[in-house]
Amino acid sequence: MNKKILLSVVSLSFLFSCEQAPQNNSDKLTVYTSFYPIYDFAKRIGKDKCEVINITPVGSEPHDYSPTTREVIGMSESDLVLVNGLGLENWTESLPENVSSKVKTVTEGIEASKIDGIVDPHVWLNPLNAVREMNNIADLLISIDNVNADYYRNNLKNATYLFNSLDKTFLETANSFTNKRIVVSHAAFGYLCDRYGLEQIFVDGISPDDEPTAKALEEVIANVKTYGITTVFAEELVSTSIAEKIARETGCKMEFLNPLEGLSENDLLYEDYVSVMIDNMSKLTTACKGNL
C-alpha cells in the first residue's frame, strides 16, 4: 500500500478517536450490540453519550452465539439493541416482547448478495456499507435522544470522512494487484471483494462451521495451482485445519485475514475496525502482488 496514504488514514483514525466530546452528558443511553463491527460503529457515533455493550464474547464469532439469560435481562433494561440481521442473529426470533421491541437492524438500505442461495450477512467488510450502517445507527440514536442530535450527526460526519478515505485508499491499492483472486477458508469476504474488484475462492460456506466436500476441496486446490495463488487465508477464531491442508498440498503459505466478526482480548486493546481493515488490505497486497 502507498505508505503516505496509509499514514494519512491512520492519522485521521487517531484524530477522530481522540476528539473531545461535549461535557453535558449527564445521562447515557444504554445500547447493546450483537457483535464487534456494530459495537465499533455504535461507539463512533454514540461516544460519551452512550454506554455500548457488546453481546458476543471476546474471542468468539457470532454465527452460532446466543445471549445468556443475564444478557437478555440487560437488553430488556436497555434503550436500544442493535443487530446486523440478514440471518446472522437467529436468536432474536425467540426474544420476549419487552426485548424484541428494542431490537433494530442496522443494515437497512444495504443491498445484500447471496452465496449458494444463502444471504451473505458480512456487509460490513465494504467500508461504504459500514457508512450506511453508521447512518442508520445515528438515526436510531436521534430517534430516542433528539436533544443530542447535533452531537450524533457531527460524529457521523467525522466517521463518514474517515471511512470514505479508507475506501479511497483501498481502491487505489487494489488497482495495483497483479492477481485478483484470493483463497479464503470462509466465504466472508464477498462484499470486500466486490468493492475492490477481487474474486474470493472459498473453501467453506457462509458459516465458518460449514464443512467442504472432498470434491470442493479438490477444486480449490486445483484453482490455487491454476492461478498461481501463493497464499491461502484462514481466520483466527475458527479451525485452520482446512487452510493448512491446502497450504501443504499446494506449497503456498497460510495467512490470517480478519472478517471482524470478533476480536481477541489483546486486539481490543490496540485495534479497531479501521486498523484491522488496513491490516487486511496490507496482507492482500502482499498476496495479490506476489501472484502470477
Q: Do 145 and 221 reside in the same domain of the chain?
A: no
pLDDT of residue 289: 82
Range of the domain at 273: 172-290
Q: Do 32 and 142 reside in the same domain of the chain?
A: yes
Cα–Cα dist 175/197, whole Å: 8
Q: Dig out the grid coordinates for 46 from the structure.
A: 454514540
Tell me if residue 52 falls in helix, strand or coil: strand
pLDDT tens for 115-154 read 989 999 999 999 999 999 999 999 999 999 999 999 999 9
Q: Do 151 and 11 reside in the same domain of the chain?
A: yes
pTM: 0.89
Q: Do 179 and 145 reside in the same domain of the chain?
A: no
How many CB atoms within 10 Å of residue 252? Answer: 22
Domain count, the chain: 2
Q: Do 206 and 243 reside in the same domain of the chain?
A: yes
Q: Is residue 119 part of a domain?
A: no
Q: Do 277 and 185 reside in the same domain of the chain?
A: yes
Distance of CA 212 to CAs 18, 224, 237, Å?
44, 16, 18
From 166, 194, 228, give the residue that closes a domain.
166
pLDDT of residue 233: 96
> What's the CATH number where 284 sits?
3.40.50.1980
Amino acid found at 43: K
In the Cβ-directed half-sphere of 111, how many Cα atoms lie within 13 Å?
2
Q: Is residue 118 part of a domain?
A: no
Q: Is residue 117 part of a domain?
A: no
